[in-house]
Amino acid sequence: MIVGGGFSGALQAINLLRHEGPRATLIERRPRAGEGLAYGDAAPEHLLNVRAKGMNANPDDPEGFVRWLAARGGEYSADCFVPRLVYGEYLRELLAEEMARQPGRLTLVRGDAVGIELNGGAKVALEDGRMVAADLAILAIGNLPPHHPPGFGDALDPDLYVADPWASEATLGLNPDDRVLIIGTGLTMVDMALRLESEGFAGRMIAVSRRGLLPHRHGPQQPFTPIDERPQACASWLLHGVRQRAAEVGWRNAVDELRRFTQQLWRAADHPTRARFLRHLRPWWDIHRHRLSSEVADRLVGLMEAGRLEVFPAATRWARSKDGRLAVAIKRRGARNEDELLVRRAINCTGPQGNLAASQDRLLRQLAAAGAIRPDPLHIGIDVDAQSRTIAANGRRNENLYAIGPMTRGEAWEIVAVPDIRQQVWALARRLSNAHWIGGEGL
C-alpha cells in the first residue's frame, strides 16, 4: 500500500507495475493521482528547474520524457524548461499506461489517511472511517507545509497572513496599491512572485529572508573533465574545494560534478559535520544547486528592475493586525533597530518543513505517538535506513513500513529532485518485487 499519490507515490506505483511486483493500493487525497502539489497546483508560468532531458521518470529509460514530448508535436526540445503542468500530464499518462498494461494490479483509493496500525501487516485508517489493509505500507507524503516564521501564527487573520503558499486564496483580494510581504527568498518565493504577476497584481512585493539570497540561474557551461573520486566528507572541503574547482571549471560545473557523490558524502559524514552543513552552508548550496531557467530568472530581474519586487536580508520579529492591514516588525541584517512594515498581506514562502515534532499532519502525529516512526537525528524528516525502512522509536527497523521522497532527507539529503527520487523508488520496487536478485544487487 502506498500512502500519497504525488510524484513519489505515483512513481513508486509505476515501478511496482513495471517490475511485476505485488498488487498494490495507492491512496491519494486529491482528485487525481500522479501530480501532487508540484505538478498539479502549479500555474501555467511555473517551469521545471531542470531541462527536459534530465526529467525522465524511469532510470532505465533516459529518453522517456523527451520522447513523450516529441510525440505531442515537438513543441518542447530536450533542452527546454517545460511547464510543470505538462510534466504532471506525463506522470498521469505513465500511471494510466501501466495500469492498462496490467489491469487489476493497482487499486486507486481516494481518501485522506489519518492512521496506520502495524500488526504483522499494515492497516490504514481513512478520515471517512474506511480501513484498507495490506502486507506493508509506503509513506509517500511529499513535503510538509512550512513552519510559521518568527512572530506569525494561526491566530492571525487568514486574509492578512497566508501560512500555505499553495492555497488558492493566497493571491485573492489584492488591489493595485497594495504591498505584499513574501517571507522567504528561495524557489517558493519565485513561484509566488510570478503567480502574483500573472494574476494581474500590480502592487509592490517585498521578499525577505535571513540572508536575502536568491536562486541562481542556469547558463552555458564550458566542457570539462569531472572528478572521478568522491571528495572528503567534510564541510570545510565543500567550502574551499568547491570554490577552487569553480575557479578552474566554473561554478555550475563544480556543483554539478558533485551530484553523483552527494548522497555518498552525506552518508559518510558524521552528525556534527551534517549539522554544520545545515547551519552554515545549506543556504549557499541551495541557491547554486537548485537553479532557475533563464526565462524565469529574466522575469524575476524584470520585476526587481521595475521596482515591483524588492529583496533584502531581514528577519521577522512580530506581526499583528493594524487598521485592516498587517504590521510586521523586521530586523534588517546588520541593523540595530527594527523596522515596521505595513502590508496588505504576508505570505509564508519559507519552504517545506520536516520536523515531526512541529508537524500538524494527522497521520505522522499518529505514527509518532504510537512509536512507529521517529525523527531523524537532525529533525529534518523521518528516520529511515538505506533501504527506506522506517525506524521505530525503540530503534528497530520496520519491515512493514517504508518511507520515500523528501521526508527521507535525513538519510540521503539530496532526495527532493526527480533524479534522486526516481532512483530511490526504482530500488525499492525492485526489492519488493524480488527483481534485485535478477540484477545481482542482492549478491
The H or E element that residue 244 is part of is helix 235-249
- pLDDT score recorded for residue 435: 67
Q: At what angle do helices 7-18 and 418-432 cross, to 10 degrees?
A: 40
Give the SS3 label for residue 185: coil
End residue of a domain, out of 257, 273, 289:
289
**Are 54 and 111 part of one and the same domain?**
yes
Q: Quick check: pTM over 0.85?
A: yes
Contacts of 97 by beta carbon, 8 Å cutoff, 6+ apart: none
End residue of a domain, out of 271, 289, 307:
289
Question: Residues 437, 441, 442, 443: is their CA dihedral positive or negative?
Answer: positive
Phi then psi for residue 417, to 5 deg, are: -100, 160
In which domain, by residue range, is 19 found?
A: 2-144+353-439
* Dihedral angle over CA of 101, 105, 107, 113, nearest 10: -130
- pLDDT score recorded for residue 233: 67
Distance between CA atoms of 258 and 229, rounded to whole angstroms?
10
Does residue 149 form part of some domain?
no
- pLDDT score recorded for residue 437: 46
Residue with cell 521595475: 306
Does residue 156 form part of some domain?
no
426, 414, 413, 361: which is closest to 114 by C-alpha?
361
**Are 7 and 115 part of one and the same domain?**
yes
Cell digits of residue 255:
556543483
Give the SS3 label for residue 330: strand
Count the domains in the chain. Answer: 3
Does residue 139 form part of some domain?
yes
pLDDT in tens, the chain (443 residues): 999 999 999 999 999 999 999 999 999 998 888 777 677 677 788 899 899 999 999 998 999 999 999 998 888 999 999 999 999 999 999 999 999 999 999 999 999 999 999 998 999 999 999 999 999 999 999 888 899 999 999 999 999 999 999 888 899 999 999 999 999 999 999 999 999 999 999 999 999 999 999 999 999 888 999 988 888 767 677 778 888 899 999 999 999 999 889 999 999 999 999 999 999 889 999 999 999 999 999 999 999 999 999 999 999 999 999 999 999 999 999 999 999 999 999 999 998 888 888 888 999 999 999 999 999 999 999 999 999 999 999 999 999 999 999 999 999 999 988 889 999 999 999 999 986 544 444 43
Give the SS3 label for residue 294: helix
**Are 297 and 192 part of one and the same domain?**
yes
Does residue 228 form part of some domain?
no
**Are 196 and 68 part of one and the same domain?**
no
Cell digits of residue 316:
521577522
Letter for the amino acid at 27? I
> What's the DSSP call for residue 408?
G
Does residue 154 form part of some domain?
no
**Are 87 and 137 part of one and the same domain?**
yes
- pLDDT score recorded for residue 28: 94
